[in-house]
Structure 1
Amino acid sequence: MTDRTILVMGGAHVDRRGRIAGETAPGASNPGAWFVEAGGGAFNAARNLSRLGHKVRLVSPRGGDSDGDIVAAAAAAAGVEDTPFIFLDRATPSYTAIIERDGNLVIALADMELYRLFSPRRLQQRAMREAIDTAALILTDANLPGETLAAMVEAAKASGVPVAGIAISPAKVVRFQGSLSALAFLFMNEAEARTLTGETPENPADWPKALRAAGLSAGVVTRGGRGVVAFDEKGAALVIPPDIPALGDVTGAGDSLASGFLSAWTGGATVGEALRHGVAAAAITVRSPLAVAKEMSQATLSGALSLVPEAEILS
């Protein structure tokens, strides 16, 4: 584990999930309950990395409202150094979802307009240049504009700092397309990977080949219970997740997988061993009702790691 800071730049907003208590009645008032927590792919991973013992700094746009206070409080609770760009007259980004009793999504609204104001010019500020130059790793996500991601990757490359990305969604992962070859890793699910490759291989060993052909040199693809594939320039590995008897909420599982993976990888782990750590971190998260499990730590990760099978090396 390095003593240098992991710099996280990306989504940090508020998630609101309303769950309908009975049978859904379209066009009518439905009884149910709200659950509100801080979210955002990059922010979820940042909090997990901090709880795993890393020094983490967050940079993200934020409004001058009560939602911004929720994000700030969540950063403080996780020990993340919080240095936002605050726009007092704007609303903090938010994601609002209505969910049926069985967990299926009815409709959702993503108000992410503020992220457009994280322009490449922000990266040219002296404080940002210094933060990039001194970082051990930069983690970002596709909530930011494509031109900002490209400028970030170029600035990091000039300083010799690796950049990892979180795809967020099939619609947003294309924002990384101009920077794929320069990413240390890109974390995605099969739908997001299919957007980059135009195909969905049945054989997990074919994912690295397809993504390399699309320009990505290293990445991680989650495939539900069928296993997670990770690859870099040295090889590829597959890990089958353990059965989780008490399933809480899958929200944030992919972000915790990225944080567990990167925590091990920055410590020198091979791609297969880093993948096992990522799967263990995801297992902790899906047992929790929160997107970022409060019990995440190196100790709980070590315990969860004992349940994760050895990585299978893919040819």
Structure 2
Amino acid sequence: MKENEKIIFRLIEQNPYISQQEIADIIGLSRPAVANIISSLVKKKYLLGKAYIVNERNGIVCIGAANVDKKIKTTEKLISYTSNPVTSMASVGGVARNVAENLGRLGNEVSLLSVSGNDAEWARIREMSSPFMNTNSVVTIEGQSTGTYTALLDADGEMYLGLADMSIYDYLTPELLMKQTAILQHASCIIMDLNCPKESIEFICSFSAKNNIKLVLITVSEPKMERLPQNLQAVDCLIVNKGETQAFFNEQYNTKQDLEKAGEKWLSLGVKRVVLTQGSNDLLVMSPNPKWYPIKALNAENIIDVTGAGDSFTAAYIDAWLLDEDDDTCALAGRTNSYHTIQSIQTVRPQLTKNRLLKEMKEY
């Protein structure tokens, strides 16, 4: 056994009913890191029973993409059909994973449910993610590659083109999810992105409704809006942008009144709350009454990378929402986290903590 495994084993041996959070507090690790070590002890047969497991129903399960993100930024104005000088970097990403890390950094107990290849990319994702979430429910698909997402950014840091190799998520099937019902049943909230197959999204909608679990759906792109079910009665919160809304309803929206009508259409499909973003323009929240929130302007020279803007907004909004904060506080939390994330080179800013976010919200 490794040193941390020995310490945790002794603590469980002394008190089989000790909670994972108590262990984390004693040895100075995060709760997800402790969960990963306990899982390792079970796999190695050092732990045979499950007396140590506390029935925790306050965890969040994030289902969807866990990728390696590759960012390529032009140093000058982008010119088509010729060579352009660029800088590049790679980091861990994926909508569900990014949201999970943000939530973990904000102090939530989070589990990631995804699929990966048996490759170096997944090893890197797991290493970087494990301090903030439990990754034991990620299923390895032999013969497949871990997902990758390549973003081409212009000189101002705005995304010019995104390239997604996401075929592995076709394996995130209802059959696979059925084998994970133990973790899903103990969730206080399930968050799912639309990188998952449509039938899997429908399965989670049905599962959440049957088990009275809060459900958040996160859209990821206009082409994948076809994966969204027409019946959204199980969805407590839908986070979607203007372009995706236009694609889903096959309409164009030019005014705030147009967007409010679009919000009413979402609500008519059963969604209890819709959060409609439009980049640097005002944010609309309807639950059911419309509320508009301005986005704080940021000088172009301070914008480093917008890739993580949506995921950081989503996570902070959900964090406040799950604490039963009012609409204004939820919107403020999301906008504040996004505002500071786009000033960071990382998709999830490493400085994020709950106390830091609360302080930043007062200054937003």
Using the size of structure 1 for normalisation, the TM-score is 0.88
Please name the residue that 2:229 is paired with: 177
Please name the residue that 1:19 is paired with: 73
Residue 222 of structure 2 aligns to which amino acid in structure 1?
P
Give the direction of change, closer, same or farther, for the CA distance of 1:98–1:223 in structure 2 (3 Å limit). Answer: closer
Give the direction of change, closer, same or farther, for the CA distance of 1:27–1:207 in structure 2 (3 Å limit). Answer: closer
Please name the residue that 1:219 is paired with: 274
Please name the residue that 2:216 is paired with: 164
User: Does 2:190 match 1:134?
Assistant: no
- Is the CA contact (8 Å cut-off) linking 2:194 and 2:217 kept in structure 1? yes
Please name the residue that 2:332 is paired with: 276
- Is the CA contact (8 Å cut-off) linking 1:236 and 1:272 kept in structure 2? no
Which structure has the higher relative contact order (CA within 8 Å, separation 6+)? 1
Shift of 1:153: 1.3
Please name the residue that 2:133 is paired with: 80
**SS of 2:71 mapped into structure 1:** strand
Q: What does the per-residue CA deviation read over 1:280-312, in whole Å, with 9 as the maximum and x for residues that have no partner? A: 12112112111111111112211221134xxxx
What is the CA–CA distance in structure 2 between the aligned matches of 1:140 and 1:267, rounded to whole Å?
19
Shift of 1:247: 2.0
- Is the CA contact (8 Å cut-off) linking 1:65 and 1:88 kept in structure 2? no
Q: Any gaps of 5 or more consecutive residues in structure 2? A: 1-55
- Is the CA contact (8 Å cut-off) linking 2:151 and 2:161 kept in structure 1? yes
Please name the residue that 1:289 is paired with: 345
Q: Within 5 A, what are the aligned runs for 1:120-131? A: 120-125=174-179, 128-131=180-183
Shift of 1:132: 1.3
- Is the CA contact (8 Å cut-off) linking 2:62 and 2:110 kept in structure 1? yes
Residue 172 of structure 1 aligns to which amino acid in structure 2?
K
User: Does 2:144 match 1:94?
Assistant: no
Give the direction of change, closer, same or farther, for the CA distance of 1:265–1:99 in structure 2 (3 Å limit). Answer: closer
Shift of 1:256: 1.1
Q: Any gaps of 5 or more consecutive residues in structure 1? A: 309-315
What is the CA–CA distance in structure 1 between the aligned matches of 2:77 and 2:324, rounded to whole Å?
50
What is the CA–CA distance in structure 2 between the aligned matches of 1:33 and 1:212, rounded to whole Å?
43
Shift of 1:179: 4.3
Q: What does the per-residue CA deviation read over 1:45-68, in whole Å, with 9 as the maximum and x for residues that have no partner? A: 110000000000001100111111
Give the direction of change, closer, same or farther, for the CA distance of 1:179–1:214 in structure 2 (3 Å limit). Answer: closer
Please name the residue that 2:98 is paired with: 44
What is the CA–CA distance in structure 2 between the aligned matches of 1:28 and 1:194, rounded to whole Å?
33
Give the direction of change, closer, same or farther, for the CA distance of 1:303–1:105 in structure 2 (3 Å limit). Answer: closer
- Is the CA contact (8 Å cut-off) linking 1:90 and 1:114 kept in structure 2? yes
Give me the identity figure in percent.
23
Please name the residue that 2:4 is paired with: none
Please name the residue that 2:283 is paired with: 228
Q: What does the per-residue CA deviation read over 1:23-44, in whole Å, with 9 as the maximum and x for residues that have no partner? A: 6565555443221011111111
Using the size of structure 2 for normalisation, the TM-score is 0.77
What is the CA–CA distance in structure 1 between the aligned matches of 2:363 and 2:241, rounded to whole Å?
22
Tell me which moved more, 211-220 or 44-53: 211-220
- Is the CA contact (8 Å cut-off) linking 1:13 and 1:38 kept in structure 2? yes
Give the direction of change, closer, same or farther, for the CA distance of 1:201–1:47 in structure 2 (3 Å limit). Answer: same
What is the CA–CA distance in structure 2 between the aligned matches of 1:195 and 1:205, rounded to whole Å?
16
Shift of 1:201: 5.2
What is the CA–CA distance in structure 2 between the aligned matches of 1:65 and 1:158, rounded to whole Å?
36
What is the CA–CA distance in structure 1 between the aligned matches of 2:152 and 2:260, rounded to whole Å?
37
What is the CA–CA distance in structure 2 between the aligned matches of 1:224 and 1:297, rounded to whole Å?
24
- Is the CA contact (8 Å cut-off) linking 1:59 and 1:82 kept in structure 2? yes
Q: What does the per-residue CA deviation read over 1:124-145, in whole Å, with 9 as the maximum and x for residues that have no partner? A: 21xx111111101000100000
Shift of 1:257: 1.1
The structure with the larger Rg is 2
Please name the residue that 2:265 is paired with: 210
Please name the residue that 2:357 is paired with: 301
What is the CA–CA distance in structure 2 between the aligned matches of 1:256 and 1:129, rounded to whole Å?
27
What is the CA–CA distance in structure 2 between the aligned matches of 1:105 and 1:55, rounded to whole Å?
31
Please name the residue that 1:194 is paired with: 246
Q: What's the Cα RMSD here?
A: 2.1
